[in-house]
Structure 1
Amino acid sequence: MQPQDVAPRPAAGSGSDRTVDVEEAEAALVEHYPRLVRLAYLVLPPRLGHGRRVLTAHALVQRALPRGRSAAPVIPAQSTGRDGDPGYAYVRLQVVRAALEAGLPLTLRARPKRAQLPPLFPLVWGLRLFPRPGGADELALDQRLAALSGPARAAYVLRGLERLPDGDVREVLTEAGVKRVESALREAAGVPAAQYALLAESTEFDPCVLQARPTDLMRRRRHTRAALAAAAALAVCGALVALPGDGWGPDGAAAPVYARNPAAEAALDPGRLVKISPAVWKTSARTDFSVWPARGALTRDTTLLRRALAVWARPGEAVQVSATPETPAGGPAGPPQLLYAGEIGNARVVILYDGLRIARYAEPKDSTAGAALDLARADGATGAEAGALVLDRADGNVRYLTAPWVTKAVERDLSKPGAGSMDLTLTDGITSPLASPATRTGACTTWNVLELTDASGGHLLSDLGELVPARLTAGPPGSAREASGAQALRTWAPFACSLADVRAQGVRTVNAWGYARQPLPDGSGSAAWVCTRAETWRGDGNRVLAQFHTPGGLFGTAVAKAGDVPACGPRDPHVLAGVLWKSKGGHWYLLAAGDEATASVRATGGVRGSGQGNLLTVAAKQGAQAGLEGELKNGRPIIGLR
């Protein structure tokens, strides 16, 4: 055997006391490059094909250099009495590891390793490179190696090409990340050792002695023609976009069009807008936005409607765009339904509905500059949830467009249930302006809401800064009712200002549930415990507040907040919360309450105490930190909201 066919022997010592720098590893790589490439070629999976295996083997060896100084593995070679070469040992380990990684299948669960991807370099255009063919013995050995697993193939090659004993083969495979080393050695033993010489001597396994042939010339010609045609088409499209004219290009405040799409053009054609007849809702079994008629004085203004549709599909940089959280962007998939087009104040307004979203387009009367687009989720809205839409906000007031089945609209202060209400005029479904709490800053002293009346009764809606007002309900989860009744209004009154906590969050409904009343320890009356839960249109992002209200106070206090929890809702209609309270005499207490299904309550941490039933009163100190635990009557534990 020639000296260059013998792997260099690393120096004695441990892997921790020898390091390899870039220069040392590069010297070993250059000196033993043919051997390392042959090693990589033999370990790579044969399913890659000869051509790709050749390029991949060269790429793996060329990428085997360390980035800095690295520890050298100590794996002795087959000969004795030679100078050590830790650089070769390091590079060989990197090549084996990368070749084994290249045989791993790609999965969606893990990021692909670099060795699993086709190499960028070396790069050969127009040629197929593959080793010279051998005889029958080489063909038989190649077939046997192809039948082995990657680790077993590496074990056989290390034995035959590197002439390593099994102990050193185990170390190399372990360092390379192989988990079942003994299984790989047993599998490799199934290939006769008599064929070891072919690994080092046959030109069929030498990726440095190559033949070159052209790639598929006809396919290459077709691909070249296709690439030229695509480039020409792209250039033509760019030129068409830049041309002036009245085609489907920039429209009002919309962004330019960079490609024509027949389906998109049809969806944004004003002539194809869905317009519902004013009488449809009277005979329909549905009470949602799909049966709203098209209202307003500009429903036939195709120029305005075209601008609204174009801005919805592609709002320009100057358009002020707002959307409720997780509202899908982009224009409608098909022609949307027109709900309103008209002039409100100093603006022209268009409201559209595509079955999933409400889109409100507004522009000044005298120009298209300063246009605005608002989007909101409205999927599944029915009944009271489809009772009104925000048409306009100005000077702290809001005007609504109401459903055609609404017979009466009034303004009410939710914080003052006994103050009565003020009638609002309805003109073609549009309310007169009423005060909006959505954009108010400073201390909260009132909270005005809209009360609508239809054939099913009264419904309360609150403006929370979005297109679709939130529906207000009251009562236990699963059996909540409209908040327009006298008892529901009294429940909501101390907690009306807590609605500010859920503004601009895509809220669909907010329910207030008075789940407990607790006698105060100083004999000053009883406190009310209320849980308010805000549900969103998207299903997640729900907000739960546990609130506490004592006699004589105007508003309640939020003592616990939680998001994305099932508590206080239909899926888990239970709640437990507590608060540190100071009596008029200056004494501090921990007060806690659960709903009626709570069998016992226990305080932990800085305050200790327990009691049967759903109420707990324990003497405490100012600033004490306590946890709450409880047990329901069915034996299920419950944790206090924090």
Structure 2
Amino acid sequence: MPSLRPSRPTPRTRIAADTTEAALVEQYTALVRLAYLTLPTSLSRHRRVLLAHHAAQHALPAARTGRVPRPRGADGPPGAGADALRVQVVRTALAAAHRPAWWPGSLRPPRTLLPRLPVVWGLRLFPRAGGADEVRLGQALADASAPARAAFVLRRVDGLDGERVALLLDAAGVADAGAVLREAVGLDAQAGPAAQALLHSQEFDACSVQTRPTDLVRRARRRRAAWTAGAAAAALVAAALLVPAGTTPDPAPGTAGAASPVLSPGRLARTAPDTWADTSRVDFTAWPARGALVHDDALLGRALDTWAAPSDDVRVTASPGTATDAPPRTPQLLFAGEVDGHQVVLLHDGERLARYTADEDSGKVSLDLARADDADVTSGATVVLARGDGAARYLTAPWIAESTVRDLLRPDTPARPLHVSRDGVTDAVPVAPPGGCDKRPVLQLRSSSRIVEHHAFVVADLGGLSPVHLTYTPLPGAGRPPRQPREATSTQALLAWARTACRVPSWGGGGVRAVNVWDFAEQDLPQNGGRAVWACARADSWRGPGDVTLLLRTPAASTTAPARVVGRAENTAACSRFGQHVVAATRWRAPDGHDYLVAAGSRKVTRITADGAVDASKPGRILAVPAPEKGTVRVTARLDTGERLAEVGAARD
């Protein structure tokens, strides 16, 4: 494929000032959207909104004096003024990834002490939330690089062709515009035909925003503290003038070491006990405050102060992609009580869970933070309250009507009942040991019929604050539409997970939201080797990116024999809604001792080809050919659309 980046200096056209000014007014919303989606996804939505408007509003001066690239042979394409603005917006948005940490509101160090416009005081801005489709598209965009996001928007929203996009990226300083454009084309294929309409939705429109105040209580306290400090300073000055030399005034009683709390326990949000049964938003916002210490203001004040400004002796942990700053608003109280000799407070600020734990004997304090945005009836069903001595206690959601425990490595053993207190705290449940694979205990929960009928699901403790939702996608049926993930409670699902559980990493740092095992193909092995199933175990994180493990389940004497790992890939869309096509391969030794290369693809694969130490090609979704014991083999597949598909995460020795 020829490179889309110009091989010689790109012709450029100087644009008249009135042209760019008119283009800025006409294209302002599109420019802000381009900047908003190109900016680093690690920034908060409020900051991205402000920086997006900043990028659009400050694009005009540079665009007036700059030159816009044009394809060779063109005298000056229409829309050149808009192209000049696009170049500046993309350049500014890409530069945001390298902004100084000490100047959070600007894209570059300030020339004065005043931040560059726009500036918003006292309010937080964010686009209106969209539906599940918008969330999935947002996760796919978060997985892509910033230049690829810019190219994707230029193609899908602005309707520019590939050559024009590559030229604009090149002018914006992107090192390899051709490679970035190819990444954007892949993202375009993953997103599907609905992406154009989704990109115009309010989820990605930084010009149509909602407003919320910053923490009003904190602001009021800061104002009072400022007035108090000013009055105290004035009093000290007056006292210094009035007290005779050589004497020192006595301190006011009760003022030594006093400090007003950053957040007030009396302002903590508390949800009514039955809210969960009368709302369409069944997540952490529907949890009531539970526990014997929910009215202990001293404990709650310590928990809030620790979250707002933890001292050096507090152990703070956060799952990947979770901010550790103070809550932007007064949080919601979920639990406060004693658990296994610890005082535990669980808080929720709308986007994160915070667990404050104080050891009553040693006095040690810890603060654990984890993402919880976009939680639902399953991912918001449990939280780990305490973990130690090979066991954990959980706090279950108010909509959980039945709690049981089962071992994934014993699919034929029924789940046993788990006692839960009136406050929703479970008895101690064993956790998977750090080494070996003797047991994989999980919780099997059932939702109340007040919100959904006959809904049971499985969650597993993989080291995070929230247990991970386990699902299963069965083999595709002939002539049927693709299967969707379903709860891992059926016999078929439990048998698949029994051979997968020991191959799923522990993810000790947390951050994983759900793991789905997708059986995408089955194959009769050579030499009467039996029937094998190809599977992809995908772990989706709360922040969006996902990791996959490709597995081959060959016939085995035990129903829990671990499947063979044939590949791994990190930060990929493979095996998700945006990566529905997959091909995998591995070497396999037949009972007679001969080696074979076996490969299989998902339902849209029409041909599999092997190059290198094995040279073979076969129509269909499976391949099995003799292979040498060693030697590099590259496997690709052809889809029914004609597109070429590379193997995911090859791992063959």
TM range (shorter): 0.5 to 0.7
Code of the aligned partner of 1:450: L
CA deviations over 1:226-249 (Å, ceiling 9, x no partner): xxxxxx989969x99xx9997797
Q: Partner of 1:473 in structure 2? A: 471
- CA drift of 1:489 comes to 1.3
1:568 to 552, 567, 575: 575
**8 Å contact kept, 2:331–2:348:** yes
The answer as to 2:369 corresponding to 1:375 is yes
1:142-171 Cα shifts (integer Å, max 9, x gaps): xxxxxxxxxxxxxxxxxxxxxxxxxxxxxx
Matched, 1:495 2:504: no
Distance in structure 1 (CA, Å) of the matches to 2:110 and 2:581: 53
**Counterpart for residue 213 of structure 1:** none
Name the counterpart of 2:224: none
SS at match of 1:352: strand
Q: Which residue of 1 aligns with 2:355?
A: 360
Query: 2-side partners of 1:579 and 1:482: how far apart?
Result: 29
Deviation at 1:414, TM superposition (A): 1.2
In the TM superposition, 1:159-558 aligns within 5 A as 265=262, 268-366=263-361, 369-428=363-422, 429-437=424-432, 440-454=433-447, 455=449, 456=452, 457-475=455-473, 479-540=484-545, 542-552=546-556, 554-558=561-565
CA distance in 1, matches of 2:110, 2:547: 46
Query: Residue type matched to 1:358 in 2?
Result: L
**What is the CA–CA distance in structure 2 between the aligned matches of 1:623 and 1:551, rounded to whole Å?**
24
Shift of 1:453: 0.5
What CA distance in whole angstroms lies between the structure 1 residues aligned with 2:233 and 2:569? 56
| Deviations 1:190-245, CA, capped at 9 Å, x for gaps | xxxxxxxxxxxxxxxxxxxxxxxxxxxxxxxxxxxxxxxxxx989969x99xx999
Distance 1:342 1:618, change over 3 A: same
Q: 1:561-640 maps to which residues of 2 (within 5 A)?
A: 561-640=568-647
**Cα displacement string for residues 41-77 of structure 1 (whole angstroms, at most 9, x for unaligned residues):** xxxxxxxxxxxxxxxxxxxxxxxxxxxxxxxxxxxxx
Deviation of residue 499 (structure 1)?
2.3
Instruction: Give the number of the structure with larger relative contact order, counting CA–CA contacts within 8 Å between residues 6 or more apart.
Output: 2
Structure 1 residues 312 and 341, CA gap change in structure 2 (3 angstroms): same
Judge which range, 443-452 or 529-538, deviates more.
443-452
Aligned residues of 1:532 and 1:544 also touching (Cα < 8 A):
yes
**In structure 2, C-alpha distance between the alignment counterparts of 1:521 and 1:501, rounded to whole Å:** 34
Shift of 1:347: 0.5
**Contact persistence 2:503–2:562 (CA under 8 A):** no
Quote how far apart the aligned CAs of 1:280 are: 1.8
Shift of 1:365: 2.0
Aligned mates of 1:416, 1:517 — CA distance in 2 = 23
Deviation at 1:445, TM superposition (A): 2.8
1:333 Cα shift?
1.5
Q: How far apart in 2 are the matches of 1:273 and 1:366?
A: 27
Aligned length: 405
SS at match of 1:521: coil
Letter in 2 for 1:498: R
Specify the SS of the correspondent of 1:380. coil
Change (3 A) 1:527 1:417: same
Deviates more, 1:412-421 or 1:303-312: 412-421
Q: What per-residue deviation string (whole Å, max 9, x for no partner) do you get for residues 4-51 of structure 1?
A: xxxxxxxxxxxxxxxxxxxxxxxxxxxxxxxxxxxxxxxxxxxxxxxx
Deviation by residue 1:347-375 (Cα, 9 ceiling, x = unmatched): 110000010000000001246x3101100
What SS is found at the alignment partner of 1:489?
helix
Determine if contact 2:463/2:506 at 8 Å carries over to the other structure: no
The residue correspondences of 1:64-79 to structure 2 (distance < 5 A) are none
Residue 457 of structure 2 aligns with an amino acid whose one-letter code is H
SS in 2 for 1:487: helix
Task: Mark the runs of 5 or more structure 2 residues left unpaired by the alignment.
Answer: 1-64, 68-87, 100-108, 112-228, 238-250, 475-481
Q: Secondary structure of 1:426's partner?
A: coil
Give, in whole Å, the separation in 1 of the partners of 2:293 and 2:506. 37
Amino acid corresponding to residue 293 of structure 1 in structure 2: P
The one-letter code of the counterpart of 2:548 is V
Counterpart amino acid of 2:642?
G
Structure 1 residues 236 and 497, CA gap change in structure 2 (3 angstroms): farther
Q: For residues 234 and 589 of structure 1, what CA distance do their matches in structure 2 show?
A: 84
* Aligned counterparts of 2:483 and 2:313: Cα–Cα separation in 1: 45
Q: 1:558 to 1:506 in 2, by over 3 A?
A: same
Residue number in structure 2 paired with 1:140: none
User: Unaligned 5+ residue runs, structure 1?
Assistant: 1-102, 119-231, 251-256
Q: Secondary structure at the match of 1:419?
A: coil
Contact 2:607 2:638 in 1 (8 A): yes
Deviation at 1:442, TM superposition (A): 2.0
For the aligned residues, what is the CA RMSD? Answer: 3.2
Asked if the contact 2:463–2:507 (Cα under 8 Å) also holds between the matched residues in 1, the reply is no
CA-CA distance at 1:612 after TM superposition: 1.3
Partner of 2:353: helix, strand, or coil?
strand
Q: Offset of 1:539 from its aligned partner?
A: 0.9
Q: 1:397 to 1:245 in 2, by over 3 A?
A: farther
Write the distance in 2 (CA, Å) between the matches of 1:235 and 1:499. Answer: 60
Bigger mean CA deviation after superposition, 311-320 or 442-451 = 442-451
Counterparts of 1:248 and 1:458, CA distance in 2:
56
Structure 1 residue 609, shift from structure 2 partner: 1.1
**Alignment identity in percent?**
38
Runs of 4 or more, structure 1, over 4 Å off, are 103-112, 232-237, 243-250
Contact 1:502 1:534 in 2 (8 A): no
Tell me the alpha carbon deviations over residues 396-443 of structure 1, each in whole angstroms, 9 at most, x when there is no partner: 101110010101111111122112211100112111111112xx2222
Match of 1:132 in 2: none
* AA of the residue aligned to 2:621: N
Separation in 2 of the partners of 1:394 and 1:635?
54
Q: 1:244 to 1:385 in 2, by over 3 A?
A: farther
The structure-2 alpha-carbon separation of the partners of 1:234 and 1:598, relative to structure 1 and needing over 3 Å to count, comes to farther
User: Residue 640 of structure 1: CA displacement?
Assistant: 0.7
Aligned to 2:114: none
SS at match of 1:307: helix
Letter in 1 for 2:323: P
User: 2:462 is matched by which residue type in structure 1?
Assistant: L
| Counterparts of 1:527 and 1:467, CA distance in 2 | 36
Give TM-score scaled by structure 2 length. 0.58
Change (3 A) 1:295 1:500: same
- 1:479 Cα deviation from its structure 2 partner: 1.5
Instruction: Tell me the distance in 1 between the aligned counterparts of 2:579 and 2:565.
Output: 20
Check whether the contact 1:510–1:532 (CA below 8 A) recurs between aligned residues: yes
Contact 2:284 2:375 in 1 (8 A): yes
Separation in 2, partners of 1:303, 1:517 = 60
Q: For the residues of structure 1 that align with 2:110 and 2:587, how far apart are their CA atoms?
A: 62
Query: In the TM superposition, what whole-angstrom CA distance separates every residue of 1:358-397 from its partner, at most 9, and x where no partner exists?
Result: 0000001246x31011000000101111111111112110
